[in-house]
């Protein structure tokens, strides 16, 4: 008997560091399967961050283009560019005025605010600002989970 991973059909928002981590680890097939079985979003903010680091990881551009072309990732617009600190803070406050108290870096908080607006769980590897007990407790009121690995049920 083979083990089969079953994902619970939900909405997920994928963070820059999570996507980069999965690519570096060679988990593209696992990510592809996960995206086919769930509603997975990427923000325009994350795409802009990826553009900034693509010279370090040249396969990112091709990978993301493929996933968007195949409709494996849904696009979510924030209308914020990395480095627009005032807009980032306004975006966070618009979603929940307590988020800035829980996420000290407004740039990292953009994905949290987007997740609140989408009501999507967050996939991240950011253990400094996002994958924290403090933030996870705050997000329980929205029934949002912060995960650093793919959720699975075996």
Looking at residue 51, its pLDDT comes to: 84
Cα within 13 Å of Cα(146), Cβ side? 27
Looking at residue 52, its pLDDT comes to: 84
**Residue matched to tokens 């079953």:** 6
Domain ranges for the chain = 11-147
Looking at residue 130, its pLDDT comes to: 81
Cα within 13 Å of Cα(126), Cβ side? 22
Residues of the chain with pLDDT under 70: 1-9, 128, 153-154
What's the predicted TM-score (pTM) here? 0.86
Looking at residue 2, its pLDDT comes to: 39
Looking at residue 41, its pLDDT comes to: 95
Indicate the CATH number for domain 11-147.
3.40.50.1010
Looking at residue 23, its pLDDT comes to: 82
């Amino acid at each position: 008997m083979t083990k089969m991973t079953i994902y619970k059909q939900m909405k997920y928002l994928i963070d820059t560091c999570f996507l980069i981590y999965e690519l570096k680890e060679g988990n593209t097939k696992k990510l592809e399967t996960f995206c086919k079985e769930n509603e997975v979003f990427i923000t325009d903010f994350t795409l802009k961050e990826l553009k900034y680091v693509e010279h370090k990881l040249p396969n990112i551009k091709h990978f993301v283009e493929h996933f968007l072309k195949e409709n494996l990732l849904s696009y979510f617009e924030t209308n914020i560019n990395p480095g627009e600190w005032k807009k980032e803070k306004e975006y966070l406050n618009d979603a929940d005025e307590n988020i800035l108290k829980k996420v000290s870096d407004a740039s990292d908080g953009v994905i949290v605010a987007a997740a609140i607006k989408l009501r999507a769980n967050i996939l991240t590897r950011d253990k400094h600002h996002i994958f924290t007990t403090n933030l996870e407790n705050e997000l329980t009121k929205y029934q949002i989970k912060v995960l650093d690995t793919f959720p699975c049920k075996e």
